[in-house]
Amino acid sequence: MVTFTSLNFILRFIVAFIFIYYLFPKKYQNMVLFIGSLVFYGMGQWMFLPLLLGLTILNFGFGTWLSNGNKLGYAISYKKPRFIVVLAVDVITLVAMKGLALGLESFLFPVGLSFYIFKMLSFQVDCYTGKIDGDLKFTGVAAYFTMFPQVTQGPIMRYDHALFSEGRKFSLINLELGMEYFCIGFGMKILLADRLALLWNEIQKIGVESISAPLAWMGVYGYSLELYFDFWGYSLMAAGLGVMLGFPFVENFSNPYGSTSISEFYRRWHVTLGTWFRDYMYFPLGGSRKGKLKTIQNLMMVWIVTGLWHGGTINFIIWGLVLGMIIVCEKFLWKNFMEKHSFFGRILVLFVIPLTWLIFAVSDLGQLKEYFIKLISIHSGAPMADLSKYLPMYGIFFVIGGFLLIPTVANGILKQREGKIQGLRVILLFIIFVVSLYFSGISSGNPFLYYSF
């Protein structure tokens, strides 16, 4: 799979694509984006290109019919059968492919299927309810579904939030800003997430039964930071590419580790996925409008589906159930206490969230149980030997990662600067880019974690 961190993508594909993209008149930009996205996807998984193209054509056809039905005044009941058909096709495709990958081989799961199917589902709902009711053009809708900055890992942009119905203007400011976002995300992925991944890989090689409690805790927090900077880094790279192409910036992470509750954490983590579940599942189920028991039921259903969306193994279901129960407790049992004592919520986030990522990371329940035992075991492994070996190797990455978790620091890094500071910022970003490019070139390539979802 061609990734955003590969030399072929950075030095060849994106340079050539942006040049061609802006060389064409505005009215052809969606067509260029669609064709370029198919080329990008085909370079990695050409065997699944017909599936992506077929679903794109199918969803455009149904979406056009539903949208035209709004303009012609068709009743909801008249549109409903076709709406149900296209939703069923999309959902069955996602479930079937996940089942094949889980039961046979993981390579049978098309990269990005979960993300572009969710785009298609939200598109159909918005067409059905009249939120999208303009004249739909195939190239615009197809570019939205297949857009290469988002087709493999999201974010899950909404059709009406972008500019797919009109051309986009070239702007040096947007080009520079997009490049800055891309460089920051590139550095987070290569220089931080991939370095922390080495620690988790080392623990896997040693075996859970042989590690000490301090190393087990290092592994928990190391994996948490790796996952965060891997996916946040990707999201910034994707957002930067979108800005370069004239689209609005899509914020997918909003300082989640600065949250004062688990529920707030997930409003800030993977924002586009969270709002998708809120708008297209939680609210249609009734949200919190039908009493306490119904609210609890709706929350648990959403979190079980969220777990299944990430993977079909039992650990993902447990992960969803645990988070759902914590959020229910926050909403109905701990609410008053947490409002008066925000420090409790902050401790909950910094302590519980990393432990839930452990459930997320370890699919074997026996190994998962053993790992939790190691976390509280006093007489296991060689704690001093582990600390003396691994702290010097990875301590600096924990310090940098912790520093970047501070909201003020994170906001400052992403904020546009002016004047002399801007010049220093450009130099620093250039250094980060070159160093990241070097490490990307000499490594075998560590794929983004969310490629497997």
Maximal C-alpha separation, the chain: 74
pLDDT at 282: 94
Cα angle: 400, vertex 405, 407; to 5 degrees: 130
User: Tens-of-pLDDT digits for all 453 residues of the chain?
Assistant: 668 899 999 999 999 999 999 999 888 999 999 999 999 999 888 899 999 999 999 999 999 988 876 555 555 566 888 899 999 999 999 999 888 877 766 667 888 899 999 999 999 999 998 888 778 899 999 999 999 999 988 899 988 766 676 667 778 888 999 999 999 999 999 999 999 999 999 999 999 888 999 999 999 999 999 999 999 999 999 999 999 999 989 999 999 999 999 999 999 999 999 999 999 999 999 988 888 999 999 999 999 999 999 887 899 999 999 999 999 999 999 888 888 888 899 999 999 999 999 999 998 999 999 999 999 887 776 788 888 899 999 999 999 999 999 999 988 888 765 444 577 888 899 999 999 999 988 876 566 665 555
Which residues are within 8 A (CB) of 213 and not within 5 positions of it... i.e. 6 or more apart?
A: 374, 375, 376, 377, 378, 380, 381, 383
Within its chain, how far is the Cα of 210 from the centroid? Answer: 33
Give the up-direction half-sphere exposure of residue 268: CA atoms within 13 A in the CB hemisphere: 16
DSSP string for 185-236: HHHIIIIIIHHHHHHHHHHHHH-GGG--HHHHHHHHHHHHHHHHHHHHHHHH
pLDDT at 89: 96
310 is known as an active-site residue: yes
Q: Contact, 323 vs 331, CB < 8 A? A: no
pLDDT at 270: 95
pLDDT at 419: 43
Residues 20 and 33: their CA atoms lie apart, in Å, by 10
pLDDT at 98: 85
The reported pTM is 0.92
pLDDT at 76: 59
Residues 192 and 231: their CA atoms lie apart, in Å, by 12
Q: Contact, 21 vs 245, CB < 8 A? A: yes
Q: Which of 270, 310, 341, 379 is catalytic?
A: 310
Which residues are within 8 A (CB) of 285 and not within 5 positions of it... i.e. 6 or more apart?
A: 298, 301, 302
**Residue 155 phi/psi, 5° resolution?**
-65, 165
Q: If DSSP codes are grouped into helix, strand and coil, which group holds residue 260?
A: coil
pLDDT at 169: 75
DSSP string for 147-196: -TTTTTT-----GGGS-TTS-----HHHHHHHHHHHHHHHHIIIIIIHHH
pLDDT at 418: 46
State the amino acid at position 420 in one-letter form. Answer: K
